[in-house]
Structure formats: structure tokens, C-alpha cells
């Protein structure tokens, strides 16, 4: 007799057969006496197809019109999924972002949720309807359609769960849950029964590809219990929730991120304010910088190295070169030949030996470390891309997860 | 400096090239200093493709969910058309049915428009935007999406023109305007410069295939000047408006309708109330009956014949047979071997010779008339389908339109 929010991604509803599978799954939850709200993404390649259509006409179309276009993808999914549930003989209603009052700011293409007016959903739940909601979309104060950008449907699901005070928000994906490492890389990776929000946040941002950061941040903020489960089987997934007892915890998982570009600003003047100048310039241009390494000054000069997503490499180099005169450096070097490998665990801050163990594993495997970054609950290293999978395995073995 | 509503159908925006053509056309009107509101249908086969998708999952899906699904077709069109206009460098905004406050009743799949809250459109026009509106769709009092059924986009356009007190509502189609007969059947058919609402109504309902009845009825009710034009060329079209001087008018056009099924109820009792019983039964089942012919009673029995659309034939025969006991007839005969050919003109009621001229043309061509129906502004005859095109030609020649 719980209120459960379930979220299914685009591949889970890619064709008629999969839509029926998802419908059956939803109905099972409903038949057990639960109230069910389902958030669904656009089918398979629909969004890409729509983007293609738009590009053919105008590659520089406004983001407002792109959102008007792209939001149809989820509207198609919700109606088809509702039809599938009707076929199974259960009461259902589909609702768009504007119909549930999903209010966002006006950053078309990448909006943030302001609030959800949950009245319509509550009314439908009171009438015993299964409620199917379009993920990824909302409306701004002008009543214009917005989309939430990457990870949008996960975020929609968590926001709805928060607004309705749902007992659980189940995120269905193509993996069984959160693992100690990517099972495709580390065959003996072990599924975690539960994980804390902070650990999940680090794993998500480190390329574990299970949940998008935004949704985990929101879940943490509103204390929404998340469950990551497979849409392909009935296995218990991993629960993401506030974990209080961190004393016993050590490393929870190993993650790898290949989407890394390293940029070095060589021979920049070694005086106060140079790092500020560089990174405020990049922040102003909305470029997220990850690991930063600054060399020790020598002869009044130093090097500043940092990593960005590969997609931002070109733009970053361009911006730096445009400001070569004011920054006064010698040259920019860049490479995409790196991967970031990280270990995550809430107990790490109280276990100084953890980083050492990681470094030892890499040393034993003769893998060179190019950059290091640490936080309270993670240690990341930058290594050559070709060594990445091997690095994940040797670290995973070293920490003895199995 | 006029306010012009333009409506483009699905084939006019079927692909990127056609979308750009339509965009150019709209911009031309805008550049002349006019305020422009454009109503557009779903691209080409989009609606059929969506229906196919739905059928694959549930052929008996609720109409509410079908409307949720189908309304995405127009939302895709409006955003793409807006993008095309952006490419040409003009200010534009696309709006859905709910965004313009197109309020309808709750007959999903075939809704009637209650009213339009024109505020959003007016605001955008005041900001000098070209406004692109999704045709065919609205919302009901529950904020659920509805569609308007056949001819819906034409009706949307006329309703918007009425709400905004537009100077002209231009309906773009694949023909140059309204002709004295279908040019594909009668090569020397002549384009009419203008035609009255009533004449257009008769022509529309008689199968002229240019404008849907509902839109003409609404144009008449709110006195909206309609113009039927080709999206393929820049020719002047036909204006549909209130015409006062009807004295000089005679026959304005000849129409043919092949979608006719004739049903005969044979040997039904010749006593008062039988016709009422039959036709109230059909009305209750929402079957529109067109021409009705009742034989003269003989031996206390008579025959009642009438025509319906071919799509209603099966259902009509079924309903009659289900009520065979209470109606007490001998048998039902039916045939789809007929066409209806009609002449239309406001002056007809004052020119009794007109019907005679029509019958003479058919007699000269040795074409037999099976049923006759007349109104103030039209005369229709039922003839064998194989003679239909020839009949249209001989009547057209007889009235000397050229």
C-alpha cells in the first residue's frame, strides 16, 4: 500500500513489445495494492530522429523551438504506454509536463525544476488511476515548453517522488543495480544492496552511467529513497538512501570515465591570481573543469593542467588562445589520450591508507599516474586510456570486493 | 496592414523543402506589413504513422489517449515551420492548442470548439512575431488534449480568424480555388472569383473536396472572409463571403460524390409514423441520412429508400435488421453502385427551369436518374456510378459555365 514512482528509459519502451513488457511490470506493482506514478522517456531513437528533422531545416534553430519539437517524443511514449495498460484492462491516464504543473526556469534545453503542482497527479491517484507522466519536460512562467537536458527523465521522476512524498522512486535501467565496478570491465564486480547519496553522486559523476547526477542530488536534497533496478529481470536492485553508519565503510566501487581531455597551459607567469584568471574565464563560458594540477614555479614560470569533457576541448583551447595576450602564456598542449579511474567510499576520509592501496595496485600493474585528485569520499587518478580497463580490474581485485 | 490567418495542410509541409516553401510564402505576407497567424496540420503521413503505432499496441485504445498521441503531429509541424522562418531571419513563435487557449468540449477525437482565449496570440502579434499555431487540437475543461476530427485544421483556422477579427482567412490547398466542377473530371471547368457561404456549404458537402463543411459553417456564423488558394502558385484564389445580390445568380457549380450507398426497406407497412420510426432509430445511432425517397403505398405497403455514406452502410443494415420485428418490413436491399451529382447556386430557388435543364442534359446523354433531392440552392440526383463523370461533364456543358 505504498506510493511508488517508477521511471523507464527510452530503450525500455523502444518498440511495441517492450512497451507491453513495461506495462505488465507497472500493472504488477499496481495489483499489489500500490499507487503507481510512472515517468517515461521518448522511445529509442525518437529524440535523435527529431533533432535530425530540425537540422535539415535549420541547424541554428532557437532552443525554444527545439524544446517544442523534442517534447513530442515523451508525449508519444506516455500515450502508447497508457494504451498498453488499457489493453491489460487497468485504469490509466497519461499526462504531459504542463498538465502536471512541472514548473521550470526558462533555460530552454537545460531547464531546472522550480516546483511541481502535484494536484492533477493526486486527483488521478485518488481515482485509482495508474498515472503515466512525460519525463524530461516542463513549462516556464510564460507557459512555454521547456526540456530538462541530460538526465532529465531521472530528474523528473525524483522531483515527482519528492513532490508526492512517495515511498520509493524506482529507476529502471539495463543493469541490475549499482556495482562495485562496471561488470562489462570487471567480470567479478559485485552488486551493492545499498549505497549512500554521496557515494552515488561520486560514482555517477565518475562515469558509472547508472543514474544522472542531477537526479541523485535532488534525491539527497529531498530525502527520496531511490532504487536502481533492471527492466529486464525481477532482481532486487540497489537502494540509494541516507546511510548513517559510515564507520565500517571503506571503498564502495571503482569507476572509469573515458570522456576526459587534458589541457596544459605551459609557461604561464608564476604570480598570484593566474589560476583565478584562467578558471573564472572558463566558468564564465560555462566550461566545467575537473582535475586541476599546478606545477611548482621555476624561473618565475609555472604550468597549469586540468581536465574537461572531450566535448569542451576545442572550445576551451579556443577561449584560452583568444586570451593569450592577457594570460601571457607560452603555449597550450592538449590530449584526449587519458581516462579517469576513481575509487569511491564514504569511509575513505577516515582511512588514509585507502589511496595508498589504490596507488600500490597501479604500481604493481606498471600503470603510470598522470594526475591525482581527492575528495572526502573519492580518489581519482588520470592514466593512459589504453590502461583504463586493466586499472579498474587491478584496483577492484586489490580491494577484494567479492 | 491587415491581420491575416493562413492555413497550410499536411501535404504542404510534408518535407523540409516544402516547409521552407511555406515559410517563404508566410514571410512574403509578413514583409508586406501584415500581421500573420499561421495554422498548420501534421506533416504528410505523420498522423497515419502514429495511428499505426497505436494499433500495434492496442487497437481499442481510448480516444483520450489517441488525442494525446495524435496532437504531437501538429506540434512537430509548428516547431519545424517556426525553425524555417527563423532561418529566413524573421521573428516567430510556435504555439500549441492549449497555449492559445483553444477550449473545446470533451468529445475526444471529434471535439467542437467552445471558445478561444486569444490573449497569447495577441501578445505575440503585438511583439511583431509571426505566430504559428497547431491546428486540429484543443483542450477541454479538464485540461486534457482533444482533437477536432475531420476538417479540424480548417476549422481551427476559421475559429482563430473569428476570435481575432482577422481581415482574411486564407486556406491553402493543392487547387487554385473553387471551380464550377472538379477540373480533373471536367477539363474546361472555370475557377470562381467568389462564392457565397451557402453555395460553398452545398459544394463542400457534395464532395467538392476543397473546404470542410465545419469550417465554412463557422465562417458563415462569424462572417469570416475565407480565401481558398493554391500553395503551389501565386494565383488569386476564390473568396468565400456573404453575397447579397443573388438575383442574377444561377448555377455556380457541379459536384460529384461517389461516397454513396443506397438502402431500400422493402414492403414496410404504409401507415403514419413508419418514416419517423426508421429515421429516428438511425439518428439515435448517429447515422446521417442524405436523400430520402418513399414510394407510393400499394396494397397497404410501401418502400422507403435513402442514402448514407458507404462507411455507414454495414452498420445501418445491421441496425435495421436488429429492429426487423418492430419495424415489420419484408427485406433490406442495398447497393454502393451509385453516385450523387449536384448543381449548386443561390439563385436556383427563383429559377424553376434550372432543375429541368439538368434533367434534360442527363436525358440527352441517356443517363437514368434513380433518386432526386432538392433544396433552396441545389438539386442532387442519384445515378449509376459508371455514368458519374460523364454526367458532370454534360451538365457543366449545358449550363455553359465557360
The more confident residue out of A17 and A276 is A17
pLDDT of the residue at B206: 73
Which of A73-87, B58-72, B156-170, B204-218 is predicted with the least confidence, judged by mean pLDDT? B204-218
Q: Where in chain B is the domain with CATH 3.30.70.260?
A: 261-335
Q: Where in chain B is the domain with CATH 3.30.2130.10?
A: 340-398
**Mean pLDDT confidence for A373-384:** 85
Best of A42, A60, A66, A69 to substitute, by most chain B Cβ atoms within 10 angstroms, is A69
**pLDDT of residue B155 exceeding 60:** yes
Helices (H), A222-312: 274-284
Give the residue from A166, A102, A179, A186 showing the smallest Cα distance to A395.
Answer: A186
DSSP-assigned beta bridge partners for residue B132: B38, B94
Check if B79 contacts A (Cβ < 8 Å): yes
pLDDT of the residue at B353: 74
pLDDT of the residue at A39: 98
Helices (H) and strands (E) in chain B, counts: 12, 20
Q: How far is CA B184 from CA A6, A161, A354, B175, B181, in A?
A: 56, 60, 84, 11, 9
Q: Chain A residues with CB inside 8 Å of B80's CB?
A: 53-54, 57, 69
Check if B334 contacts A (Cβ < 8 Å): no
CA atoms within 13 A on the CB side of B322: 9
What confidence tier does B250 reach under pLDDT thresholds 50, 70, 90? Answer: low
Question: Per-residue b/e over B103-123, b at no fewer than 16 CB within 10 Å?
Answer: bbeeebeebebeebebebbbe
CATH topology of domain B3-173: Carbamate kinase (3.40.1160)
As a whole number of Å, the end-to-end CA separation of chain A is: 36
Instruction: Determine, for residues A143 and B78 on separate chains, whether the beta-carbon distance falls below 8 Å.
Output: no
Q: How far is B312 from chain A (nearest CA, A)?
A: 27
**pLDDT of residue B34 exceeding 90:** yes
Among the CATH numbers 3.30.2130.10, 3.30.420.40, 3.40.30.10, 3.30.360.10, which is that of B340-398?
3.30.2130.10
**Mean pLDDT confidence for A3-28:** 95
CATH topology of domain B261-335: Alpha-Beta Plaits (3.30.70)
pLDDT of the residue at A102: 97
pLDDT digits (tens, 9 = 90+) for B161-198: 999 999 999 999 888 888 888 888 888 888 889 888 98
What confidence tier does B248 reach under pLDDT thresholds 50, 70, 90? Answer: low
pLDDT of the residue at A149: 86
In angstroms, rounded to a whole number, what is the distance separating the alpha carbons of residues B367 and B383?
7
**Mean pLDDT confidence for B335-356:** 82
Strand positions, DSSP E, B41-96: 92-95
**Mean pLDDT confidence for A321-336:** 92
What are the grid coordinates assigned to B396, written together?
457543366
What are the grid coordinates assigned to A75, written together?
508525449
Nearest CA in chain A to B17: A57
What confidence tier does B244 reach under pLDDT thresholds 50, 70, 90? Answer: low
pLDDT digits (tens, 9 = 90+) for B280-326: 888 888 888 888 877 777 788 888 889 999 989 999 999 999 999 88
For A69, which of B60, B79, B87 is closest by C-beta distance? Answer: B79
Give every strand in the sheet of A371-375, ordered side by side: A253-257, A338-344, A378-384, A371-375
Q: How far is A269 from chain B (nearest CA, A)?
A: 45
CA atoms within 13 A on the CB side of B382: 21
Instruction: Tell me the count of A-B CB pairs closer than 8 A.
Output: 109
**Mean pLDDT confidence for B50-69:** 97
Q: Where in chain A is the domain with CATH 3.40.1160.10?
A: 3-173
| pTM reported for the whole predicted model | 0.80
pLDDT of the residue at B174: 81
Q: How far is A110 from chain B (nearest CA, A)?
A: 18
pLDDT of the residue at B245: 55
pLDDT of the residue at A352: 65
Give the residue from A231, A178, A232 showing the smallest Cα distance to A8.
Answer: A231
Amino acid at each position: 500500500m505504498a506510493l511508488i514512482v517508477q521511471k523507464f528509459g527510452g530503450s525500455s519502451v523502444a518498440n511495441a513489445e517492450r512497451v507491453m513488457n513495461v506495462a505488465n511490470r507497472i500493472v504488477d506493482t499496481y495489483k499489489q495494492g500500490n499507487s503507481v506514478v510512472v515517468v517515461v522517456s521518448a522511445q529509442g531513437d525518437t529524440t535523435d530522429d527529431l533533432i535530425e528533422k530540425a537540422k535539415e531545416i535549420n541547424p541554428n534553430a532557437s532552443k525554444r523551438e527545439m524544446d517544442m519539437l523534442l517534447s513530442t517524443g515523451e508525449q508519444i511514449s506516455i500515450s502508447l504506454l497508457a494504451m498498453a495498460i488499457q489493453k491489460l484492462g487497468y485504469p490509466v491516464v497519461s499526462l504531459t509536463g504542463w498538465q502536471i504543473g512541472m514548473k521550470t526556469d526558462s533555460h530552454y534545453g537545460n531547464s531546472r525544476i522550480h516546483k511541481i503542482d502535484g494536484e492533477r497527479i493526486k486527483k488521478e491517484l485518488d481515482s485509482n488511476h495508474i498515472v503515466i507522466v512525460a519525463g524530461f519536460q516542463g513549462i516556464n512562467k510564460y507557459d512555454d515548453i521547456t526540456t530538462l537536458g541530460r538526465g532529465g527523465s531521472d530528474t523528473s521522476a525524483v522531483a515527482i517522488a519528492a513532490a508526492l512524498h512517495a515511498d520509493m522512486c524506482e529507476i529502471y535501467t539495463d543493469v541490475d543495480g549499482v556495482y562495485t565496478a562496471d561488470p562489462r570491465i570487471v567480470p567479478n564486480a559485485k552488486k551493492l544492496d545499498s549505497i549512500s547519496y554521496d557515494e552515488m553522486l561520486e560514482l555517477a559523476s565518475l562515469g558509472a552511467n547508472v543514474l544522472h547526477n542531477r537526479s541523485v542530488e535532488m534525491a539527497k536534497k529531498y530525502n527520496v529513497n531511490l532504487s536502481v533496478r533492471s527492466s529486464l529481470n525481477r532482481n532486487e536492485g540497489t537502494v540509494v538512501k541516507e546511510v548513517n553508519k559510515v564507520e565500517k565503510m571503506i571503498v564502495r566501487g571503482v569507476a572509469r570515465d573515458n570522456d576526459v581531455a587534458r589541457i596544459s597551459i605551459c609557461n604561464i607567469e608564476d604570480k598570484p591570481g593566474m589560476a583565478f584568471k584562467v578558471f573564472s574565464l572558463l566558468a564564465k563560458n560555462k566550461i566545467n573543469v575537473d582535475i586541476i594540477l599546478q606545477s611548482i614555479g621555476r624561473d618565475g614560470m609555472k604550468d597549469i593542467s586540468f581536465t574537461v569533457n572531450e566535448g569542451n576541448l576545442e572550445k576551451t583551447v579556443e577561449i584560452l588562445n583568444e586570451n593569450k595576450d592577457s594570460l601571457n602564456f607560452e603555449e597550450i598542449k592538449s590530449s584526449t589520450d587519458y581516462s579517469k579511474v576513481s575509487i569511491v567510499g564514504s569511509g575513505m576520509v577516515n582511512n588514509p591508507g585507502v589511496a595508498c592501496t589504490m596507488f600500490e595496485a597501479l604500481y604493481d600493474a606498471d600503470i603510470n599516474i598522470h594526475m591525482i585528485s581527492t575528495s572526502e569520499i573519492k580518489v581519482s587518478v588520470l592514466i593512459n586510456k589504453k590502461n583504463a580497463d586493466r586499472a579498474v580490474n587491478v584496483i577492484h581485485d586489490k580491494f577484494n570486493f567479492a
